[in-house]
Chain A
Protein backbone atom coordinates (compact mmCIF):
# COMPACT_ATOMS: atom_id res chain seq x y z
CA UNK A 1 0.00 0.00 0.00
CA UNK A 2 1.79 3.11 -1.24
CA UNK A 3 -0.97 5.25 0.16
CA UNK A 4 -0.40 4.05 3.69
CA UNK A 5 3.30 4.87 3.52
CA UNK A 6 2.51 8.38 2.36
CA UNK A 7 0.11 8.82 5.23
CA UNK A 8 2.62 7.69 7.79
CA UNK A 9 5.22 9.99 6.27
CA UNK A 10 2.83 12.94 6.58
CA UNK A 11 1.97 11.95 10.13
CA UNK A 12 5.65 11.79 11.03
CA UNK A 13 6.24 15.27 9.71
CA UNK A 14 3.30 16.58 11.69
CA UNK A 15 4.41 14.84 14.86
CA UNK A 16 7.78 16.47 14.37
CA UNK A 17 6.08 19.88 14.21
CA UNK A 18 4.23 18.97 17.40
CA UNK A 19 7.40 18.15 19.25
CA UNK A 20 9.12 21.27 18.07
CA UNK A 21 6.19 23.35 19.28
CA UNK A 22 6.32 21.60 22.64
CA UNK A 23 10.01 22.43 22.94
CA UNK A 24 9.26 25.91 21.67
CA UNK A 25 6.93 26.45 24.64
CA UNK A 26 9.89 25.87 26.93
CA UNK A 27 12.14 28.00 24.76
CA UNK A 28 9.64 30.80 25.32
CA UNK A 29 10.96 31.20 28.87
CA UNK A 30 14.53 32.25 27.97
CA UNK A 31 13.17 34.03 24.92
CA UNK A 32 10.82 36.02 27.12
CA UNK A 33 13.67 36.92 29.45
CA UNK A 34 15.74 38.15 26.53
CA UNK A 35 12.81 40.20 25.24
CA UNK A 36 12.26 41.56 28.74
CA UNK A 37 15.90 42.56 28.99
CA UNK A 38 15.80 44.36 25.70
CA UNK A 39 12.43 46.04 26.10
CA UNK A 40 11.90 46.01 29.84
CA UNK A 41 8.62 44.26 29.19
CA UNK A 42 7.93 43.13 32.74
CA UNK A 43 10.02 45.56 34.75
CA UNK A 44 12.29 42.82 36.01
CA UNK A 45 15.84 43.97 36.51
CA UNK A 46 17.32 40.64 37.44
CA UNK A 47 19.98 40.43 34.77
CA UNK A 48 21.27 43.95 34.90
CA UNK A 49 24.14 43.25 37.20
CA UNK A 50 26.17 41.83 34.37
CA UNK A 51 25.74 45.01 32.47
CA UNK A 52 27.39 47.12 35.12
CA UNK A 53 30.13 47.95 32.65
CA UNK A 54 27.87 50.50 30.99
CA UNK A 55 29.42 53.68 29.89
CA UNK A 56 28.83 56.13 32.69
CA UNK A 57 30.10 59.17 30.93
CA UNK A 58 29.77 61.88 33.55
CA UNK A 59 31.03 64.61 31.22
CA UNK A 60 27.98 64.12 29.10
CA UNK A 61 25.50 64.83 31.84
CA UNK A 62 21.97 65.60 30.92
CA UNK A 63 21.03 68.06 33.62
CA UNK A 64 17.37 67.30 33.74
CA UNK A 65 16.67 65.92 37.16
CA UNK A 66 14.81 62.71 37.79
CA UNK A 67 13.25 61.18 40.84
CA UNK A 68 14.05 57.66 41.83
CA UNK A 69 11.69 56.21 44.42
CA UNK A 70 12.19 53.20 46.64
CA UNK A 71 9.43 51.02 47.96
CA UNK A 72 9.25 47.56 49.41
CA UNK A 73 6.85 44.76 50.08
CA UNK A 74 7.21 42.03 52.67
CA UNK A 75 5.17 38.94 52.02
CA UNK A 76 5.31 37.99 55.70
CA UNK A 77 5.08 41.22 57.66
CA UNK A 78 4.96 39.64 61.11
CA UNK A 79 8.41 38.14 60.74
CA UNK A 80 10.42 40.57 58.76
CA UNK A 81 10.29 44.31 58.33
CA UNK A 82 11.94 45.38 55.12
CA UNK A 83 11.97 49.10 54.41
CA UNK A 84 13.86 51.60 52.25
CA UNK A 85 15.87 54.13 54.23
CA UNK A 86 14.55 56.98 52.12
CA UNK A 87 11.54 57.35 49.85
CA UNK A 88 12.95 59.39 47.02
CA UNK A 89 16.28 60.60 45.63
CA UNK A 90 16.71 63.30 43.06
CA UNK A 91 19.26 62.10 40.54
CA UNK A 92 21.13 63.24 37.49
CA UNK A 93 21.46 60.61 34.76
CA UNK A 94 24.90 59.13 34.44
CA UNK A 95 25.98 59.63 38.06
CA UNK A 96 26.28 56.86 40.58
CA UNK A 97 24.16 57.10 43.73
CA UNK A 98 23.76 54.92 46.75
CA UNK A 99 21.04 54.18 49.23
CA UNK A 100 20.12 51.29 51.45
CA UNK A 101 17.24 49.19 52.67
CA UNK A 102 16.85 48.12 56.29
CA UNK A 103 15.77 44.61 57.20
CA UNK A 104 14.66 43.84 60.75
CA UNK A 105 14.02 40.27 61.80
CA UNK A 106 11.18 40.50 64.29
CA UNK A 107 10.72 36.76 64.70
CA UNK A 108 12.46 34.33 67.00
CA UNK A 109 14.02 32.23 64.27
CA UNK A 110 16.44 32.62 61.39
CA UNK A 111 14.79 33.98 58.25
CA UNK A 112 16.19 33.07 54.88
CA UNK A 113 14.89 34.54 51.69
CA UNK A 114 15.53 36.85 48.84
CA UNK A 115 14.46 40.23 47.59
CA UNK A 116 13.00 40.37 44.11
CA UNK A 117 13.34 43.71 42.35
CA UNK A 118 10.86 45.33 40.02
CA UNK A 119 10.96 48.69 38.30
CA UNK A 120 8.09 50.84 37.20
CA UNK A 121 7.48 52.05 34.56
CA UNK A 122 8.50 48.74 33.03
CA UNK A 123 10.32 50.19 30.07
CA UNK A 124 12.55 52.14 32.44
CA UNK A 125 13.96 48.98 33.97
CA UNK A 126 16.73 48.66 31.44
CA UNK A 127 17.87 52.22 32.12
CA UNK A 128 18.15 51.78 35.87
CA UNK A 129 21.60 50.24 36.23
CA UNK A 130 22.40 48.65 39.51
CA UNK A 131 26.12 48.50 40.10
CA UNK A 132 25.75 46.58 43.27
CA UNK A 133 22.70 45.16 44.86
CA UNK A 134 21.48 42.41 47.10
CA UNK A 135 18.72 41.19 44.86
CA UNK A 136 18.39 37.53 43.99
CA UNK A 137 21.02 36.66 46.58
CA UNK A 138 19.84 34.53 49.42
CA UNK A 139 19.89 36.57 52.62
CA UNK A 140 19.92 35.25 56.14
CA UNK A 141 18.75 37.25 59.14
CA UNK A 142 19.32 36.10 62.71
CA UNK A 143 16.54 36.68 65.26
CA UNK A 144 16.37 40.34 66.24
CA UNK A 145 19.02 41.32 63.73
CA UNK A 146 18.86 44.69 61.93
CA UNK A 147 20.73 44.72 58.63
CA UNK A 148 21.49 47.53 56.21
CA UNK A 149 21.41 46.39 52.59
CA UNK A 150 23.11 48.90 50.27
CA UNK A 151 22.43 49.55 46.60
CA UNK A 152 24.61 51.48 44.18
CA UNK A 153 22.89 52.55 41.04
CA UNK A 154 22.89 54.96 38.14
CA UNK A 155 20.26 56.01 35.64
CA UNK A 156 21.28 55.66 32.04
CA UNK A 157 21.30 58.89 30.07
CA UNK A 158 19.36 57.24 27.30
CA UNK A 159 16.24 57.14 29.46
CA UNK A 160 13.34 58.48 27.35
CA UNK A 161 12.53 62.05 28.23
CA UNK A 162 8.91 61.42 29.10
CA UNK A 163 9.87 59.30 32.11
CA UNK A 164 10.46 61.58 35.06
CA UNK A 165 9.91 59.24 37.97
CA UNK A 166 11.25 55.73 38.41
CA UNK A 167 10.21 53.44 41.18
CA UNK A 168 12.33 50.56 42.37
CA UNK A 169 10.45 48.04 44.41
CA UNK A 170 11.72 45.06 46.34
CA UNK A 171 9.44 42.25 47.38
CA UNK A 172 10.96 40.07 50.05
CA UNK A 173 10.03 36.40 49.79
CA UNK A 174 11.05 33.89 52.42
CA UNK A 175 12.53 30.66 51.10
CA UNK A 176 9.91 27.95 51.12
CA UNK A 177 11.99 25.22 52.78
CA UNK A 178 12.97 27.35 55.75
CA UNK A 179 9.54 28.69 56.46
CA UNK A 180 8.26 25.13 56.46
CA UNK A 181 10.64 24.18 59.25
CA UNK A 182 9.30 26.92 61.54
Chain B
Protein backbone atom coordinates (compact mmCIF):
# COMPACT_ATOMS: atom_id res chain seq x y z
CA UNK B 1 0.00 0.00 0.00
CA UNK B 2 2.79 2.38 0.95
CA UNK B 3 4.49 1.69 -2.30
CA UNK B 4 1.38 2.59 -4.27
CA UNK B 5 0.85 5.72 -2.19
CA UNK B 6 4.41 6.90 -2.67
CA UNK B 7 4.23 6.16 -6.35
CA UNK B 8 1.05 8.19 -6.64
CA UNK B 9 2.59 11.13 -4.88
CA UNK B 10 5.58 10.89 -7.13
CA UNK B 11 3.47 10.92 -10.28
CA UNK B 12 1.30 13.68 -8.89
CA UNK B 13 4.18 15.93 -8.02
CA UNK B 14 5.98 15.21 -11.28
CA UNK B 15 2.89 16.08 -13.24
CA UNK B 16 2.27 19.20 -11.24
CA UNK B 17 5.75 20.51 -11.82
CA UNK B 18 5.57 19.82 -15.53
CA UNK B 19 2.21 21.34 -16.11
CA UNK B 20 2.01 24.07 -13.52
CA UNK B 21 2.54 26.65 -16.21
CA UNK B 22 -0.02 25.14 -18.52
CA UNK B 23 -2.88 26.24 -16.32
CA UNK B 24 -3.34 22.83 -14.76
CA UNK B 25 -4.18 24.43 -11.44
CA UNK B 26 -7.11 26.26 -12.96
CA UNK B 27 -8.65 22.89 -13.69
CA UNK B 28 -8.07 21.44 -10.30
CA UNK B 29 -8.99 21.83 -6.70
CA UNK B 30 -7.03 24.67 -5.10
CA UNK B 31 -4.24 23.54 -2.80
CA UNK B 32 -5.27 26.28 -0.46
CA UNK B 33 -3.44 28.12 2.26
CA UNK B 34 -3.91 25.92 5.31
CA UNK B 35 -2.27 22.67 6.36
CA UNK B 36 -5.60 20.91 6.16
CA UNK B 37 -6.48 22.23 2.71
CA UNK B 38 -3.11 20.90 1.55
CA UNK B 39 -3.97 17.49 3.03
CA UNK B 40 -7.37 17.55 1.37
CA UNK B 41 -5.73 18.36 -1.94
CA UNK B 42 -3.27 15.48 -1.52
CA UNK B 43 -6.14 13.13 -0.70
CA UNK B 44 -8.01 14.31 -3.76
CA UNK B 45 -5.00 13.69 -5.98
CA UNK B 46 -4.27 10.32 -4.37
CA UNK B 47 -7.79 9.04 -5.05
CA UNK B 48 -7.77 10.57 -8.52
CA UNK B 49 -4.59 8.73 -9.48
CA UNK B 50 -5.77 5.46 -7.98
CA UNK B 51 -8.89 5.84 -10.12
CA UNK B 52 -6.81 6.65 -13.18
CA UNK B 53 -4.65 3.56 -12.71
CA UNK B 54 -7.68 1.29 -12.21
CA UNK B 55 -9.31 2.94 -15.20
CA UNK B 56 -6.27 2.37 -17.41
CA UNK B 57 -6.15 -1.31 -16.43
CA UNK B 58 -9.88 -1.97 -16.85
CA UNK B 59 -10.40 0.07 -19.99
CA UNK B 60 -7.10 -1.22 -21.34
CA UNK B 61 -8.32 -4.79 -21.03
CA UNK B 62 -11.60 -3.77 -22.58
CA UNK B 63 -10.09 -2.01 -25.58
CA UNK B 64 -7.67 -4.86 -26.08
CA UNK B 65 -10.57 -7.26 -26.40
CA UNK B 66 -12.52 -4.79 -28.54
CA UNK B 67 -9.64 -4.75 -31.04
CA UNK B 68 -8.46 -8.34 -30.77
CA UNK B 69 -11.63 -10.30 -30.12
CA UNK B 70 -13.89 -9.05 -32.85
CA UNK B 71 -15.82 -11.32 -35.14
CA UNK B 72 -14.37 -9.69 -38.25
CA UNK B 73 -10.96 -11.08 -37.28
CA UNK B 74 -12.46 -14.55 -37.57
CA UNK B 75 -12.12 -15.51 -33.92
CA UNK B 76 -14.29 -18.18 -32.36
CA UNK B 77 -15.76 -17.11 -29.05
CA UNK B 78 -14.55 -18.83 -25.91
CA UNK B 79 -17.28 -20.26 -23.72
CA UNK B 80 -15.90 -19.80 -20.18
CA UNK B 81 -18.27 -18.02 -17.83
CA UNK B 82 -16.96 -18.62 -14.33
CA UNK B 83 -13.74 -18.47 -12.38
CA UNK B 84 -14.01 -18.50 -8.63
CA UNK B 85 -10.42 -17.46 -8.06
CA UNK B 86 -10.69 -14.51 -10.46
CA UNK B 87 -13.95 -13.34 -8.90
CA UNK B 88 -12.50 -13.71 -5.40
CA UNK B 89 -9.45 -11.72 -6.46
CA UNK B 90 -11.37 -8.75 -7.80
CA UNK B 91 -13.53 -8.59 -4.72
CA UNK B 92 -10.58 -8.62 -2.33
CA UNK B 93 -8.16 -6.36 -4.19
CA UNK B 94 -10.56 -3.35 -4.40
CA UNK B 95 -11.33 -3.90 -0.74
CA UNK B 96 -7.66 -3.58 0.16
CA UNK B 97 -7.28 -0.47 -2.01
CA UNK B 98 -10.29 1.05 -0.27
CA UNK B 99 -8.73 0.50 3.14
CA UNK B 100 -5.64 2.24 1.82
CA UNK B 101 -7.80 5.24 0.92
CA UNK B 102 -9.83 5.24 4.11
CA UNK B 103 -6.90 5.48 6.50
CA UNK B 104 -5.45 8.83 5.34
CA UNK B 105 -8.98 10.17 4.83
CA UNK B 106 -9.95 9.39 8.41
CA UNK B 107 -6.76 10.96 9.73
CA UNK B 108 -7.48 14.21 7.92
CA UNK B 109 -11.08 14.14 9.07
CA UNK B 110 -10.04 13.84 12.71
CA UNK B 111 -7.78 16.87 12.28
CA UNK B 112 -10.65 18.81 10.76
CA UNK B 113 -12.77 18.09 13.81
CA UNK B 114 -10.20 19.39 16.26
CA UNK B 115 -11.28 22.87 17.26
CA UNK B 116 -9.28 23.09 20.49
CA UNK B 117 -7.08 26.07 21.34
CA UNK B 118 -9.00 28.44 19.14
CA UNK B 119 -8.10 32.04 19.84
CA UNK B 120 -10.63 33.92 17.80
CA UNK B 121 -14.30 33.07 17.68
CA UNK B 122 -16.45 34.41 14.88
CA UNK B 123 -20.14 33.83 14.48
CA UNK B 124 -21.41 33.67 10.90
CA UNK B 125 -25.10 34.06 10.20
CA UNK B 126 -26.59 33.43 6.78
CA UNK B 127 -29.44 35.62 5.58
CA UNK B 128 -31.32 35.65 2.30
CA UNK B 129 -28.97 36.84 0.72
CA UNK B 130 -26.02 38.15 2.68
CA UNK B 131 -23.71 37.14 5.52
CA UNK B 132 -23.33 38.59 8.99
CA UNK B 133 -20.05 38.30 10.86
CA UNK B 134 -19.83 38.81 14.63
CA UNK B 135 -16.45 38.78 16.36
CA UNK B 136 -17.50 37.17 19.62
CA UNK B 137 -16.30 38.76 22.84
CA UNK B 138 -15.96 42.09 21.04
CA UNK B 139 -18.67 44.40 19.83
CA UNK B 140 -17.54 44.17 16.21
CA UNK B 141 -20.31 42.93 13.99
CA UNK B 142 -21.17 43.70 10.39
CA UNK B 143 -23.01 42.50 7.31
CA UNK B 144 -21.25 41.51 4.14
CA UNK B 145 -23.02 41.49 0.82
CA UNK B 146 -22.34 41.45 -2.90
CA UNK B 147 -20.91 44.70 -4.20
CA UNK B 148 -20.94 43.94 -7.93
CA UNK B 149 -23.08 46.61 -9.59
CA UNK B 150 -26.36 45.59 -11.25
CA UNK B 151 -25.17 47.01 -14.53
CA UNK B 152 -22.45 44.38 -14.67
CA UNK B 153 -24.86 41.58 -13.89
CA UNK B 154 -27.28 42.76 -16.57
CA UNK B 155 -24.49 43.16 -19.11
CA UNK B 156 -24.76 46.92 -19.43
CA UNK B 157 -21.24 47.43 -18.26
CA UNK B 158 -18.07 45.44 -18.65
CA UNK B 159 -17.54 42.89 -15.90
CA UNK B 160 -14.60 43.46 -13.57
CA UNK B 161 -12.15 40.71 -12.73
CA UNK B 162 -13.84 39.96 -9.41
CA UNK B 163 -17.31 39.82 -10.89
CA UNK B 164 -19.70 38.18 -8.37
CA UNK B 165 -16.91 37.54 -5.90
CA UNK B 166 -16.57 40.95 -4.29
CA UNK B 167 -18.31 42.25 -1.17
CA UNK B 168 -18.78 45.56 0.60
CA UNK B 169 -17.30 44.45 3.95
CA UNK B 170 -14.62 41.81 3.93
CA UNK B 171 -14.15 39.39 6.78
CA UNK B 172 -10.78 40.26 8.28
CA UNK B 173 -8.83 37.61 10.18
CA UNK B 174 -5.23 37.15 11.30
CA UNK B 175 -2.86 34.54 9.93
CA UNK B 176 -1.25 31.84 12.10
CA UNK B 177 -3.99 31.95 14.70
CA UNK B 178 -6.66 29.37 15.13
CA UNK B 179 -10.01 30.83 14.21
CA UNK B 180 -13.22 29.07 15.16
CA UNK B 181 -16.35 29.81 13.16
CA UNK B 182 -19.84 29.25 14.57
CA UNK B 183 -22.46 29.03 11.86
CA UNK B 184 -26.17 29.58 11.96
CA UNK B 185 -28.87 30.96 9.72
CA UNK B 186 -31.69 33.41 10.01
CA UNK B 187 -34.06 31.91 7.44
CA UNK B 188 -33.25 28.99 5.14
CA UNK B 189 -30.23 26.74 4.76
CA UNK B 190 -27.03 28.29 3.50
CA UNK B 191 -23.52 26.89 3.30
CA UNK B 192 -20.38 28.88 3.91
CA UNK B 193 -17.64 27.80 1.56
CA UNK B 194 -14.14 29.12 0.92
CA UNK B 195 -12.23 26.65 -1.30
CA UNK B 196 -8.78 27.98 -0.39
CA UNK B 197 -9.43 27.23 3.27
CA UNK B 198 -11.14 23.87 2.57
CA UNK B 199 -14.02 25.01 4.76
CA UNK B 200 -17.60 24.23 3.93
CA UNK B 201 -20.45 23.81 6.34
CA UNK B 202 -24.18 24.32 6.32
CA UNK B 203 -25.81 27.19 8.18
CA UNK B 204 -29.03 25.87 9.68
CA UNK B 205 -31.71 28.03 11.30
CA UNK B 206 -32.05 27.25 15.01
CA UNK B 207 -28.86 25.23 15.13
CA UNK B 208 -25.18 26.01 15.27
CA UNK B 209 -22.32 24.33 13.49
CA UNK B 210 -18.65 24.90 14.00
CA UNK B 211 -15.41 24.68 12.07
CA UNK B 212 -11.92 26.02 12.59
CA UNK B 213 -8.96 27.06 10.52
CA UNK B 214 -5.39 28.31 10.76
CA UNK B 215 -4.47 30.37 7.72
CA UNK B 216 -0.79 30.24 6.78
CA UNK B 217 -0.51 33.02 4.24
CA UNK B 218 -1.89 36.54 4.18
CA UNK B 219 -4.12 37.25 1.22
CA UNK B 220 -7.66 37.64 -0.02
CA UNK B 221 -9.66 34.42 -0.37
CA UNK B 222 -12.99 34.22 -2.11
CA UNK B 223 -15.84 31.81 -1.66
CA UNK B 224 -19.56 31.41 -2.20
CA UNK B 225 -22.78 30.20 -0.66
CA UNK B 226 -22.95 26.52 -1.52
CA UNK B 227 -26.47 25.53 -0.52
CA UNK B 228 -29.43 26.61 -2.62
CA UNK B 229 -31.08 29.40 -0.65
CA UNK B 230 -33.50 31.01 -3.09
CA UNK B 231 -33.51 33.61 -5.81
CA UNK B 232 -30.15 35.24 -5.12
CA UNK B 233 -28.30 32.09 -4.10
CA UNK B 234 -25.68 32.80 -6.74
CA UNK B 235 -25.19 36.34 -5.50
CA UNK B 236 -23.96 35.99 -1.93
CA UNK B 237 -20.19 35.65 -2.13
CA UNK B 238 -17.72 35.45 0.72
CA UNK B 239 -14.49 37.45 0.79
CA UNK B 240 -12.04 36.83 3.59
CA UNK B 241 -8.88 38.84 4.05
CA UNK B 242 -6.09 37.29 6.06
CA UNK B 243 -3.65 39.83 7.49
CA UNK B 244 -0.65 39.80 9.85
CA UNK B 245 -1.43 39.52 13.53
CA UNK B 246 -0.39 43.11 14.29
CA UNK B 247 -2.50 44.47 11.49
CA UNK B 248 -5.45 42.45 12.75
CA UNK B 249 -5.05 43.74 16.32
CA UNK B 250 -4.93 47.28 14.99
CA UNK B 251 -8.00 46.73 12.89
CA UNK B 252 -10.09 45.11 15.61
CA UNK B 253 -9.18 47.81 18.16
CA UNK B 254 -10.03 50.54 15.69
CA UNK B 255 -13.33 48.88 14.79
CA UNK B 256 -14.27 48.41 18.42
CA UNK B 257 -13.50 52.03 19.19
CA UNK B 258 -15.45 53.15 16.16
CA UNK B 259 -18.51 51.13 17.09
CA UNK B 260 -18.53 52.14 20.76
CA UNK B 261 -18.00 55.76 19.62
CA UNK B 262 -21.07 55.52 17.42
CA UNK B 263 -23.01 53.94 20.25
CA UNK B 264 -22.11 56.83 22.59
CA UNK B 265 -23.20 59.41 20.07
CA UNK B 266 -26.50 57.62 19.65
CA UNK B 267 -27.13 57.62 23.36
Direct A–B contact present (CB less than 8 angstroms):
yes
Which residues does A use to contact B, with CB under 8 Å?
42-44, 69, 71, 73, 75, 87-88, 116, 118-121, 162-165, 167, 169, 171, 173
Question: Can you list 6 residue pairs at the A/B interface with Cβ under 8 Å?
Answer: A73-B184, A73-B186, A121-B113, A162-B116, A165-B180, A171-B206
- In whole angstroms, what is the CA distance A84 to B119 when docked? 20
Q: Which residues of A are found within 8 Å of B243, using beta-carbon distances?
A: none
Given A165-B115, A165-B116, answer yes or no on A88-B137 (Cβ-Cβ < 8 Å): yes
Q: Is A71's CB under 8 angstroms from B136's CB?
A: yes
Q: Is B208's CB under 8 angstroms from A120's CB?
A: yes
Given A164-B116, A165-B115, answer yes or no on A69-B121 (Cβ-Cβ < 8 Å): yes
B191 interface residue (CB < 8 Å to A): no
B210 interface residue (CB < 8 Å to A): yes
Q: Which residues of B are found within 8 Å of A167, using beta-carbon distances?
A: 182, 208, 210
- Shortest C-beta distance, B199 to chain A (Å), equals 15
- In whole angstroms, what is the CA distance A69 to B209 when docked? 14
- In whole angstroms, what is the CA distance A41 to B115 when docked? 17
Q: Which residues of B are found within 8 Å of A73, using beta-carbon distances?
A: 125, 184, 186
Which residues does B use to contact A, with CB under 8 Å?
113-118, 121, 123, 125, 136-137, 180, 182, 184, 186, 205-210
Q: Which residues of A are found within 8 Å of B205, using beta-carbon distances?
A: 75, 171
Q: Which residues of A are found within 8 Å of B123, using beta-carbon distances?
A: 71
Partner of A118, one of B113, B116, B121, B206: B206
Q: Which residues of A are found within 8 Å of B182, using beta-carbon distances?
A: 71, 120, 167, 169
Q: Which residues of B are found within 8 Å of A88, using beta-carbon distances?
A: 137
- Shortest C-beta distance, B173 to chain A (Å), equals 18
- In whole angstroms, what is the CA distance A71 to B181 when docked? 12
Given A69-B121, A87-B136, A120-B182, answer yes or no on A42-B207 (Cβ-Cβ < 8 Å): yes
- In whole angstroms, what is the CA distance A73 to B141 when docked? 13
Q: Is A162's CB under 8 angstroms from B114's CB?
A: yes
Q: Is A118's CB under 8 angstroms from B207's CB?
A: yes
Q: Which residues of A are found within 8 Å of B207, using beta-carbon distances?
A: 42-44, 118, 169, 171
Q: Which residues of B are found within 8 Å of A171, using beta-carbon distances?
A: 184, 205-207
Q: Which residues of B are found within 8 Å of A44, using beta-carbon distances?
A: 207
- In whole angstroms, what is the CA distance A121 to B182 when docked? 10
- In whole angstroms, what is the CA distance A146 to B117 when docked? 35
Q: Which residues of A are found within 8 Å of B180, using beta-carbon distances?
A: 165
- In whole angstroms, what is the CA distance A167 to B137 when docked? 13
Q: Which residues of A are found within 8 Å of B125, using beta-carbon distances?
A: 73
Q: Which residues of B are found within 8 Å of A87, using beta-carbon distances?
A: 136-137
Given A71-B123, A71-B182, A88-B137, answer yes or no on A164-B206 (Cβ-Cβ < 8 Å): no
Q: Is B115's CB under 8 angstroms from A121's CB?
A: yes
- In whole angstroms, what is the CA distance A43 to B117 when docked? 21
Closest Cβ neighbor of B123 among chain A residues: A71
Q: Which residues of A are found within 8 Å of B209, using beta-carbon distances?
A: 43, 120
Q: Is A173's CB under 8 angstroms from B206's CB?
A: yes
Closest Cβ neighbor of A71 among chain B residues: B123
- Shortest C-beta distance, B214 to chain A (Å), equals 16
- Shortest C-beta distance, A176 to chain B (Å), equals 14
Q: Which residues of B are found within 8 Å of A118, using beta-carbon distances?
A: 184, 206-208
Pairs of residues from A and B, 3 with the lowest C-beta to C-beta distance, nearest first: A164-B116, A169-B208, A120-B210
Closest Cβ neighbor of A163 among chain B residues: B116
- In whole angstroms, what is the CA distance A44 to B115 when docked? 19
Closest Cβ neighbor of A161 among chain B residues: B116
Q: Is A43's CB under 8 angstroms from B208's CB?
A: yes
- In whole angstroms, what is the CA distance A182 to B17 when docked? 65
Q: Is B137's CB under 8 angstroms from A164's CB?
A: no
